[in-house]
Amino acid sequence: MLIKKIVSVILSLSLVFMVSGCQSDKDNPLHGKDTDERIVMCLENAYPEHNFKVVKSFDKQKNEGLFEDENGISFKVRNLLYDNIYHFGCCDEYLATILEKQDFFNKAKIIVEDKYQQKFTYDEDTMVIEIIYDDTNNQITTNEISQMISEVLNMADAPEVIYPDNQEFSTGVVNYYTLPTFGMLQCYIKRNGWGVTERFYVSDKVFEQSKIKEKIDKLYESTEK
């Protein structure tokens, strides 16, 4: 009799776990999705104005796949951060591809270096405006810096980009996103021996110049002796 009760309890608990597991899977948007489907989900969250499809399936050995928007713009997705039951993250080159087609990087370099005599650099995924102060050769004002940043950001004819609110991955919490390559413009100021950085996103082009200046003023003040 005791054995029957134990078996009955075990079966009941198993049923509860199965039901709760099914409910959990049902509520998890990643459930049942392969890597390519997850990438498309992330892309359409990040770029809500566009639709995407797979051109070449993501190759985990090469760590890249080829995708395309509804206008036929092809781009790579690279660097899976996570790909498990609850977590998925990757990096995409959609925005970078659009910016390259507009010759954005060369135009930004002309604005920063020729017009404002500062330094503009970019590597595989980062754009940086470097402002190095000294007593004789560089006296650019915060108003000029904010104007320069505004000109660079507004020069880009870029799609709407929604960046993830939370890039952390917690046990049992569903989170998935893509990080756009070249989605960020860093402004680095070195003054009085201090180096500080403020980040602006391409989507910040909607900022009024006064709001950009508020950030730059705080950055500049943080380098006071």
pLDDT in tens, 37-53: 999 999 999 999 999 99
pLDDT of residue 84: 86
Q: How far apart are CA 114 and CA 185, in angstroms?
A: 18
- The residues facing 130 across adjacent strands are 119, 188
pTM above 0.85, yes or no: no
Name the stretches of the chain with pLDDT < 50: 2, 4-7, 9-23
Q: How far apart are CA 71 and CA 73, in angstroms?
A: 6
pLDDT of residue 173: 82
Contacts with 113 (C-beta within 8 Å, 6 or more apart), sequence order? 119, 120
Position of tokens 């190759």?
A: 59
With vertex at residue 207, the alpha carbon angle to CA 41 and CA 178, rounded to the nearest 5 degrees, is 20
- Going 130 to 134 to 136 to 142, the CA torsion angle's sign is positive
Neighbours of 117 (CB within 10 A): 11
pLDDT of residue 42: 96
Backbone angles phi, psi at 131, to 5 degrees: -125, 110
Measured between its terminal Cα atoms, the distance across the chain in Å is 82
Q: How far apart are CA 64 and CA 38, in angstroms?
A: 14
pLDDT tens per residue, range 143-174: 999 999 999 999 988 899 999 887 777 777 88
Neighbours of 10 (CB within 10 A): 10
- What is the Cβ-side half-sphere exposure of residue 186, based on CA atoms within 13 angstroms? 15
Q: For residue 9, with 0-12 CB atoms within 10 Å meaning exposed, 13-18 middle and 19 or more buried, which class applies?
A: exposed
